[in-house]
Amino acid sequence: REMVSAELLRSARTVCEIGSGTGQYLEKVMALAKPVTYEVYETDPRWAKFLRTQYSGTGPALFVRPADGSSLRQTRSGSCDLVHAHAVFVYLPLLLTLGYLKECVRVCRPGGHIMFDCFTERSLGLAQAEAWLAGEDRFPVAIPTTVLEEFIRAERLELVRTFPMLY
């Protein structure tokens, strides 16, 4: 919904997704954006095989790239209109997330878009941490907002929009 609202899919002819998993975002982006090529980096070999089997030949040229868990090395620099990751940077350590974000910047074409979700200290305060502690999951990792803001400035990016996500 947010991708549509921000008009990120209107000109997304080349798409790269990090951590496609079950394909729920892949399927929606393919249907709405109708890209020419869609690249996937999925570290779980079973999900990668599923994605290849389920979505090859159903629309754009699908490339399930070898995933090393830290780079987008098979993707050419400046080649993607949209680079996105959902429910990935919420559990990765800060430096791994920043490394991936640098890769996103590298492969994103000028005027393209990068979309991802993450926890910050604003979205993962004590009350939220207590709620997580009451459950079984222990994956949330918060990225300091100041680090994200510095990264955006250093990479000369423009923050288009933020919005809350429920987990």
Quick: pLDDT tens for 39-93: 999 999 999 999 999 998 878 899 999 999 999 999 999 999 999 999 999 999 9
Where residue 126 falls (left for φ over 0; alpha for ψ -120 to 50; beta otherwise) is alpha
Pair 109, 140: CB distance under 8 Å: no
Reported as a pLDDT band with limits 50, 70 and 90, residue 161 is confident
Give the Cα separation of 89 and 101 in Å (integer): 9
Predicted model pTM: 0.94
Closest CA to 73 of 35, 39, 26, 117: 39
Beta strands in the chain (DSSP E): 14-18, 37-41, 61-65, 80-85, 108-116, 119-120, 142-143
pLDDT in tens, 90-116: 999 999 999 999 999 999 999 999 999
What pLDDT is stored for residue 130 in this prediction? 95
Q: To the nearest whole number, what is the mean pLDDT of the chain?
A: 94
Asked if residue 167 has pLDDT above 80, the reply is no
Angle among Cα 149, 151, 153 to the nearest 5 degrees reads 70
